Structure 1
Amino acid sequence: MNNTELKEQIQVDLNIGDQLTTISCGHIVNEMIKFIAYQRLQIPYTYQWLKQLVNKRKDSDCKIKESLQSERHFHVASTALSNLDFILKGLSKEIQGANLPEEICIALGATPVTCKEMYRLILPEVCHKPQCQSEHIANDQKIQRNVFRLLATSEELGKVFFESIAPTNMYIFIKKKVLNNQEVVCSDDFIFLRGYRVPNKCKVVNIDFKSKSNVKVTCCNNFDVFGDISEALDQMSIINDKKTFENCEFESTDDSKWFQSSYVMKGFKDCFVNGSSVTNSWT
């Protein structure tokens, strides 16, 4: 396969690896998936608004008088939300488990082998345990605020987001190292994946969480080795990367294995009747 045939690559260097606990890493990964789902029009509302709409519809008394379109749209929206929540819950469990994933991939397309876009979240080699939180580590809100400001204002990502993509399926893959006498994944929500090839014309966004510091960071070690918080966050960058895409094929080996989430989120559009969203009757 000729790697240079890939249509487009964007490299996002976050440089926040030594600022993350397992909890904050899980939070930012989940928020990034919600962000991508909304930005790429796989859900017509933000995650929080979707959840609020679905919960209000469940609690309302409109079920008897609602239209067929409204009933169908509720089924589509609630199913998508349920599957997305299962995905996020499974990822949080894996990230906070004993074996931190090396990489998490979000693929958008009808099938994994025909996906149109892929977002590769390259996680740090180690995250601090929750009890290691310290004044030397940025809090969740500060990290998320800086990361999503970077993503939302990037001209390079803006070019990707400018070209709309129709609602399709969202697939989640994780890569984990094999540890002695331990289960590779800690839940039944992931299926072993022997191999997977990224389509030639798939747009790929590589989001690297790893710190660019040369210091070997170990959880619970001396916090003096960590870089300055503001300096690390200021070093986040996004470039249009024309270099060869090294990992065009995902292959499970004796050292690392790939898994696919058993849950797939099916994207959907809003449903309008007489120019008004059917969700207006849910509130």
Structure 2
Amino acid sequence: MTSGGNLKPMTIDLNIGDQLTTISCGHIVAELIKFIAYQRLQIPYTYQWLKQVINKKKESPEKKDSFQSERHFRVASNALENLDFILKSLLKEIDGASIPSEVCVALGATPITCREMYRFLLPSMCHKPQCHSTNIANDQKIQRSVFKTLVTSESLSKVFFDTISPTNMYIYLKKKVSSNQDVVCGDSFVYISGCRIPRSAKIVVLDFSTPNKESLSCCNDLQVFGDVISEDLDKLKLQESAIHNFDEIESNDSATWFQSSYVMKGFKDCIVNGISVTNAWLES
């Protein structure tokens, strides 16, 4: 993978693929997107706080605030609605017939001028929710492990050191081509042939996969991981190394890329007389 900028592409190996169900994998991806949106200043408050103040404001529609407050509410609520739509769509796809092999978050005015890209390399297989494997960890434990890794990463702190102004957030997902499992919800994602990543873009890779092939054995009687286990281990390592060479998104005979039909527009807080207008929403 090449970015062409001063900062070399950075990979964080989370190594949790053998612990994930399709549901917990989706939850981790959703929480990471919320984390990136807030840490990269695309939303001025945490997702939970944004949700709280928007809902509080909606409970008092009859109360009229200042022009700045009403305008900020429209901007913030539109951003939240689009973000929620994206997250719900991703959860549906990850828990669908075939898990995406990759989810990308691009920050920039347009996809071809993105300033930062975050790549989530997902496990080739996840446990089914009904699986009773001892490898499975609960959501809370996995999230604590993942976010501890992220917040203590010196490399990631260097990426976050340079601030980025509010811009657009684009979401992509990649699915391996198969006879009957490469379809996504047409209302949520649209097919794209591809686009080139700017050489100046900062690229961060979060690798969910696990090098321990044996731990992928789930519900042995059903052998739902049989196709993965039968692969040659050296070949898997070669593919994992090659996937980090990344300078463009491209649909081809082996993989298809899709882009979310919704885009989240980043925004700044609205300050009037030194106070955030959201304070008035909470007092409604």
Aligned-residue offset at 1:182: 4.1
CA distance in 2, matches of 1:93, 1:13: 25
SS in structure 2 of the partner of residue 132 of structure 1: coil
**1:67-120 deviation line (CA, Å, top 9, x unaligned):** 000000000000000000000000000000001100000000000000000000
Report the residue type matching 1:204 in the other structure. I
Q: Distance in 2 between matches of 1:134 and 1:112?
A: 40
Runs (5+) with no aligned partner, structure 2: 223-241
Residues 4/92 of structure 1: CA separation in 2 closer, same or farther (3 Å cut): closer
Q: Distance in 1 between matches of 2:135 and 2:3?
A: 41
Partner of 2:147: 148
- Whole-Å separation in 1 of the counterparts to 2:118 and 2:6: 14
CA 1:275–1:88: 2 relative to 1, 3 Å = same
Identity of paired residues, percent?
Answer: 63
> One-letter code of the match for 2:252?
T
State whether structure 2 residue 204 is matched by structure 1 residue 205. Answer: yes
Q: Distance in 1 between matches of 2:129 and 2:213?
A: 23
In structure 2, do the counterparts of structure 1 residues 74 and 196 end up closer, same or farther at CA, with 3 Å as the change threshold? same
Return the offset for 1:177. 1.3
TM-score, normalised with respect to structure 2:
0.87
Asked whether the equivalents of residues 3 and 244 of structure 1 are also in contact (C-alpha less than 8 Å), the reply is: no
Mapped pair 1:35 → 2:35: yes
**CA displacement at 1:143 relative to structure 2:** 0.6
Inter-partner Cα distance in structure 2 for 1:39 and 1:189: 25
Shift of 1:178: 1.9
Question: Number of aligned pairs?
Answer: 263
What is the correspondence of 1:257-268 to structure 2 with a 5 Å cutoff? 257-268=256-267
Q: Which residue of structure 2 lines up, in the alignment, with residue 53 of structure 1?
A: 53
Secondary structure, counterpart of 1:11 in structure 2:
strand
Shift, 1:134, TM fit: 3.7
Residue 172 of structure 1 corresponds to 171
1 CA distance for matches of 2:185 and 2:145? 31
Query: CA 1:21/1:4 → structure 2, altered by over 3 Å: closer, same or farther?
Result: closer
Give, in angstroms, the shift of residue 221 of structure 1: 2.6
Task: Provide the TM-score with structure 1 as the length reference.
Answer: 0.88
Structure 2 distance, partners of 1:50, 1:22, is 27
Instruction: Give the C-alpha shift of residue 25 in structure 1.
Output: 0.1
Q: Cα 1:4–1:252, aligned 2, differ >3 Å: closer, same or farther? A: closer
Kindly indicate whether the alpha-carbon contact (under 8 Å) linking 1:14 and 1:147 is maintained by their aligned counterparts in 2. yes
1:69 lines up with 2:65 in the alignment? no
Matched, 1:116 2:115: yes
Q: Which runs of 5+ in 1 are unaligned?
A: 224-242
1:232 aligns with: none
1:184-241 Cα distance to aligned partner (Å, 9 max, x none): 2144210101011111010000100000214372442379xxxxxxxxxxxxxxxxxx
Q: Whole-Å Cα distance in 2 between the matches of residues 74 and 133 of structure 1? A: 45
How much is the aligned-residue C-alpha RMSD, in angstroms?
Answer: 2.1
Which sits farther off after the overlay, 87-96 or 177-186? Answer: 177-186
Cα shift at 1:39: 0.3
The equivalent of 1:163 in structure 2 is 162
- In 2, the alpha carbon distance for the partners of 1:133 and 1:26 equals 19
- 1:24 alignment partner in structure 2: 24
Measure the CA separation in 2 of the matches of 1:88 and 1:133: 27
Q: Which amino acid aligns with 1:203?
A: K
Does structure 1 conserve the Cα–Cα contact (< 8 Å) formed by 2:17 and 2:210? yes
Residue 217 (structure 1) aligned with residue 200 (structure 2): no
| Local SS of the residue matching 1:191 | strand
Offset at 1:262? Answer: 0.5
